[in-house]
């Protein structure tokens, strides 16, 4: 009303009726003990008290608007936060360079803590011990929000000059090779074993390691075959294969139908509208879908 100096025009801006706006003006006059707007011919003019209140009222309205607006409108440069992410080692290694680069560029006050897959993710998210779980989300908690990030396929990684690189890879040749399995629970079998069994084949798993980085290092130094996730045919390269490339491993198509691997992220709904957490989720999406470069 102070800006329009008209009850009718103020009502139109607020999408209400002139009668409702008149009642509001009457309440303000009673509260402030001042007429605020008085007639001067065909218009209304503010009283000295109303003029004195104009700037303060505008400031209060702006602050109230900021207070009630969605929390995603945060300035990343002003963040002073530490985020804890729980991931498998390969995903952590793929994410860390991109997230570090983005935090340096956009949110230099942000620190990142990566944890191994050591906590039960549902309760850990609920209790605030971790902010994000990233990986193959296999728990279904009604309160947990999950977003699928990227679909991948499994490929066979072998050292340069490995016998499997000398001719076309067949299920029989793949089964005959010695394998390293990756399982934090110590399992020797997985989807590849089920696919080989349909052809009457069985592979030999010589060793089980808890993480992909150790398994890929072993494959680079021996004749064992390591399975690693890679981009689907025709998709952009995945940063999850950067470490395999750095180790000089050759990636071979597996001549068997294996289920795709879906990488997602999970968080507790209390963070859904939080601006700082929104920046984190956006940064993870960007880092996981972009080949990693130097973080320096």
Determine the Cα–Cα distance for residues 221 and 198; give it in Å rounded to an integer: 31
Instruction: Report the pLDDT value the prediction gives residue 292, as an integer from 0 to 100.
Output: 47
Instruction: Report the pLDDT value the prediction gives residue 241, as an integer from 0 to 100.
Output: 94
**pTM over cut 0.85:** no
Determine the Cα–Cα distance for residues 187 and 94; give it in Å rounded to an integer: 24
Instruction: Report the pLDDT value the prediction gives residue 54, as an integer from 0 to 100.
Output: 78
Determine the Cα–Cα distance for residues 200 and 196; give it in Å rounded to an integer: 7
Instruction: Report the pLDDT value the prediction gives residue 158, as an integer from 0 to 100.
Output: 98
| Residue-wise pLDDT tens digits, 123-159 | 899 888 999 999 998 776 778 899 999 999 999 999 9
| 125 contact partners, CB below 8 Å, separation of at least 6 | 131, 133, 141, 144, 266, 267, 268
Determine the Cα–Cα distance for residues 18 and 5; give it in Å rounded to an integer: 13
The token pair at 177 is 């090779």
Instruction: Report the pLDDT value the prediction gives residue 258, as an integer from 0 to 100.
Output: 94
Low-confidence ranges of the chain (pLDDT < 50): 291-296
């Amino acid at each position: 009303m102070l800006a329009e100096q008209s009850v009718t025009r103020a009502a139109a801006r607020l999408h209400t009726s002139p009668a409702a706006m008149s009642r509001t003006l009457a309440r303000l006059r009673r509260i402030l003990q001042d007429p605020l707007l008085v007639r001067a011919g065909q218009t209304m003019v503010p009283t000295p008290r109303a003029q004195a209140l104009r700037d303060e009222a505008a400031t209060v309205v702006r602050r109230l608007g900021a207070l009630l607006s969605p929390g995603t409108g945060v300035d990343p440069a002003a963040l002073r936060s530490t985020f804890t992410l729980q991931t498998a080692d390969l995903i952590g290694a793929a994410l860390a360079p991109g997230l570090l680069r983005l935090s340096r560029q956009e949110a230099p006050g942000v620190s990142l803590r990566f944890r191994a897959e050591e906590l039960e993710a549902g309760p850990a998210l609920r209790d605030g011990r971790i902010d994000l779980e990233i990986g193959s989300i296999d728990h279904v908690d009604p309160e947990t929000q999950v977003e699928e990030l990227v679909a991948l396929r499994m490929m066979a990684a072998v050292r340069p000059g490995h016998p499997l690189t000398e001719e076309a890879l067949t299920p029989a040749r793949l089964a005959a090779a010695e394998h390293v399995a990756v399982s934090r629970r110590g399992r020797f079998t997985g989807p590849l074993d089920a696919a080989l069994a349909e052809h009457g084949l069985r592979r030999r798993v010589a060793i089980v390691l808890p993480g992909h980085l150790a398994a890929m290092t072993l494959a680079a130094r021996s004749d064992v075959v390591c399975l690693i996730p890679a981009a689907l045919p025709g998709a952009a390269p995945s940063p999850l294969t950067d470490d395999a490339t750095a180790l000089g491993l050759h990636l071979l198509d597996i001549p068997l139908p294996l289920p795709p691997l879906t990488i997602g992220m999970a968080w507790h709904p209390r963070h859904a509208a939080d601006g700082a957490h929104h920046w984190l989720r956006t940064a993870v999406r960007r880092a996981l879908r972009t080949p990693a470069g130097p973080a320096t």
